[in-house]
Amino acid sequence: MVGVLRRMHALREKILWIRHGPGAAVLPPNVTRIHLEFAKRINGGHMGPRKFWQENLPRLKFWNPQVPMIVNRCDDTERPATLTLYFRDDGAPAKIEGTQLSSAADGTSTAPAPSQGERTVVLDIKGLHSEKILEEFMAKTSATNVQLTPQEEMELRELEDLRKRGEIDRKVTKKMIDEKKREKARLALAMSEAAANKASAL
């Protein structure tokens, strides 16, 4: 039963993690797609883009499933790290026809040229912290942060309380285990000394 409860709490944490936090934002309807490019290794200024991909992009995808978000990773740390934002021009059709790429881990999904009725804004994100990348992204897209509901605020407080109690329980349990180990070691030492004394008395 304990295992089931632990898994349930972990699932609640994951759901709340992806629904809220940095990157949980709704994009305006004129944002048509997003392209992120960076190197697999963090050397040379690719740590921030990688963290943005790991922590912020999943939340953006969750709240904006209709917006294609392509990630292109490569092996070359000398290449630029860019975040390309595609916008629908005023008066352009609601659906932009253009090439839709899949994400790639071999550097082959480079940012396509804008389609007719589309324009791009390219952010140079190499060497930037993920917080700064998100700040620029929010400013350029005019995205709206998602607010916690009262129910979600309560859930977060409950999970935080559970986490704190878990930390306390782990410390108490570790103290008990360490004490048992010390007692076992003392008993073994006493038995060894008793055996040695007995042998020397013979």
**128-185 residue pLDDT tens:** 999 999 999 999 999 999 987 777 767 767 767 666 776 776 777 787 888 888 888 8
Burial (CB count <10 Å: 0-12, 13-18, 19+), residue 194: exposed
Spatial separation of the C-alpha atoms in residues 102 and 71, rounded to whole Å: 8
What is the pTM (predicted TM-score) of this model?
0.71
With contact defined as beta carbons under 8 Å apart, do 123 and 137 qualify? yes
**62-91 residue pLDDT tens:** 999 999 999 999 999 999 999 999 999 887
